[in-house]
Structure 1
């Protein structure tokens, strides 16, 4: 059990072959990969598995986060059996995390030149509730490197006044159970 503070579990670069299993997170920022800061060059995170994770009153279920001018790759992330209770963002990929809205606009072209590759992410069996009017899935991927090979299965997360998912530069597949949460993700 991890209670309070920043992230519950955070995987940083360089990492390969990390498994996080049977963890309960209460009042944390959730589970994360990153952040990869603005000076990150050639960051590398591979073969990470989160399994049987329970989060209550958290900012995120799982978040992959980097600044928009970081460079590198994340490959093979598996997140399975997440139980969420009042979590702000269930699944969030954000390649411009940590930047203000002004910074995001200013660095949009720079980000397109940087290149972040996030591939082969699986999100399987997410159940529970969000804490407010936010999409279940938010994918803000690098427009050059993109997020490819995303798989969503058995996503059953509910909340109040939830807007539609927001996708930038992402593609993948989802099953019929997840269609309400992930509805408009385009195929790769």
Structure 2
């Protein structure tokens, strides 16, 4: 089994045409706080703010836990929070917390997909 990763992302502004802050496997104890997500006019994919995954088709040892997103502002996006997975994945995603989100001009606050292409 791969070692679990610990991450801390804070006090940043991200401006792009895809995801803002994404957590992938393996992750343990990830904190993202005081984040601003803005999107450029170039649309590449489904524009999302804070994503979990994707884990890839056939992944068998997904391990994402103890993730906190706090004080996040997301504007002009398709989705604020996205969970991306494939139906043939196996593993654990647990203890994911979202606090203090400001969502402006979004299509979906939460978007869950079980057959992601990106």
CA displacement 1:78-103 (0-9 Å, x = unmatched): 00111011112101233x1326xxxx
Report the counterpart of residue 78 of structure 2 in structure 1.
Answer: 59
Who wins on radius of gyration, i.e. which is larger? 1
State which of 15, 20, 34 in structure 2 corresponds to 1:22.
34
Q: Single out whichever of 26-35 and 71-80 deviates more from structure 2.
A: 26-35
Structure 1 unaligned segments of length 5 or more: list them: 100-188
State which of 101, 106, 113 in structure 2 corresponds to 1:82.
101
TM-score, length-scaled by structure 2: 0.77
The within-5 A match list for 1:51-130 is 51-94=70-113, 96-98=114-116
Larger relative CO (CA 8 A, sep 6+): 1 or 2? 2
CA displacement 1:98-155 (0-9 Å, x = unmatched): 26xxxxxxxxxxxxxxxxxxxxxxxxxxxxxxxxxxxxxxxxxxxxxxxxxxxxxxxx
CA contact (8 A) 2:80 2:103 kept: yes
CA drift at 1:44: 0.4
- Aligned structure 1 segments of 4 or more residues deviating by more than 3 angstroms: none
Q: Which has the higher helix share?
A: 1
TM-score, length-scaled by structure 1: 0.50
Q: Which has the higher strand share?
A: 2
Structure 2 unaligned segments of length 5 or more: list them: 1-12, 40-46
